[in-house]
A = this chain, B = another copy of it.
Amino acid sequence: MSDLQSHNPSWQLHCPISIPDNGEVITLSHGEGGRLMRRLIHEHIISAFGTMPSDSQAVHQNDPLLLMDDAARLPAIDGEIALSTDSFVVSPLFFPGGDIGSLAVYGTVNDLAVSGARPLYLTLSLIIEEGFPIALLDHVLKSVSTAARHTAVQIVAGDTKVVPRHAVDGLFINTAGVGQLVDPIAPGANALCEGDELIVTGPIGQHGIAVLCAREELALEPPPQSDCAPLTRAISVLRERMGMRIRAMRDATRGGVAAVLHEWAGASKQTLTINQCDIPVSPEVRGACELLGLDPLHVANEGTMVVAVEPGHADCAVEILRSLPEFVHATHIGSVTKKGISPVTIARTLGPEQPLDDPLGAPLPRIC
């Protein structure tokens, strides 16, 4: 399973750029607080985020990252705050539809957004293996920068650690995010009531299957694409148009849609029921899942969420979502029903309604 058991470092898998044999690599000294580290931070990390160290003093004073203090100083935030963190250990680092850089931004931004917050600031912490090509680090940092600009969040503080060969597999990234809670905040899963309707915002299982196929070099045609993308726009449009008729939102990451439904069933003490034939699954994900014996409901997504709305409002929510080009496959998949024996049930295409499994743990390590 581990990429280190092969002779080639894992970052070579699906590496998007050609790296010359004599290209500069990260050394232990890059992580040790001296001149080399300051140079790495200035020439590669800070410069990736748009403001060059050579810019005017005024820019320096306004950019917490450039000040390179121990902590970023940020203006006051009006009202309540949301705080989130996620570490990203995905293997391979690059996959169809994204890479560890875009994932590290969208993952934390989405966690803030589904919690009812407007994402404002991110911290970025890199753990890099000695020998990692600097050109590849630049490529990842560019993805981070593009994703941050795309979601209007600012990278304000960071940390860089370098560890000896074999102490980490290539590159791990942690992001922590701060957001401003905005009204109206969805009441959350506790508030789910009988009759509430359930929606998914797009085809499920795309991210997990895309990463798995890339890692195992399964040459499916077309290759499954990750859904790695921000949910901020969809959430802001839904909130604007539907307000408090939204009961709960959750991005269906590790554990997939099934994990969200089980968490919501547990929190609300209701039974959640979905219809198999309504669940959007792309042909390539369906094919890969059949091949690998996986249920797409258990596979991770990185830009797809489950939304619960008040009774009778699923069609409205689906219509709003489908007006956005990224969410044309949004679908009403089920509803909250009277508490039964099983917390989550699924009406299969053939046969009777069945309990939906809450797996002990999904079979896919290093998906995010």
Contacts and interface: CB of A to CB of B under 8 A. Distances in A.
Contact of A82 (B30, B72, B163): B72
Contacts of A191: none
A87 B33 contact: no
Given A166-B4, A360-B36, A71 B177 contact: yes
Contacts of A69: 115, 188
A91 B176 CA distance: 24
A308 interface: no
Contacts of A123: 83-85, 176
B124 A255 contact: no
Given A2-B166, A259-B34, A74 B81 contact: yes
A218 interface: no
Interface string A142-167: 00000000000000111101111111
A59 B130 CA distance: 45
A360 B39 CA distance: 10
A255 B34 contact: yes
Interface residues of A, number: 94
Contacts of A176: 83, 85, 123, 125, 157, 174, 176
Given A89-B127, A168-B168, A172-B172, A34 B111 contact: no
B70 A361 contact: no
Interface string A10-46: 0000000000000000011111111111100000000
Interface in A109-131: 110-112, 114-117, 121, 123-127, 130
Interface string A252-269: 011110010001000000
Max chain B Cβ within 10 angstroms of own Cβ: one of A33, A255, A366: A33
Interface string A59-82: 000001000111111111111111
Copies in the complex: 2
Given A76-B78, A127-B172, A174-B174, A360 B29 contact: yes
A231 to B, nearest CB: 11
A349 B267 CA distance: 68
A358 interface: yes
A321 to B, nearest CB: 19
Contacts of A164: 1-2, 365-366
Given A35-B358, A70-B115, A77-B76, A2 B167 contact: yes
A256 B34 CA distance: 9
B358 A34 contact: yes
12 contacts: A4-B167, A32-B365, A35-B361, A36-B360, A37-B361, A64-B83, A70-B115, A71-B179, A74-B82, A76-B77, A89-B167, A172-B172
Given A29-B360, A77-B77, A85-B176, 8 more contacts: A2-B166, A30-B361, A70-B250, A74-B80, A76-B79, A85-B158, A85-B159, A168-B169
The 7 closest A-B pairs by CB, nearest first: A29-B361, A33-B255, A33-B254, A176-B176, A85-B123, A32-B361, A71-B84
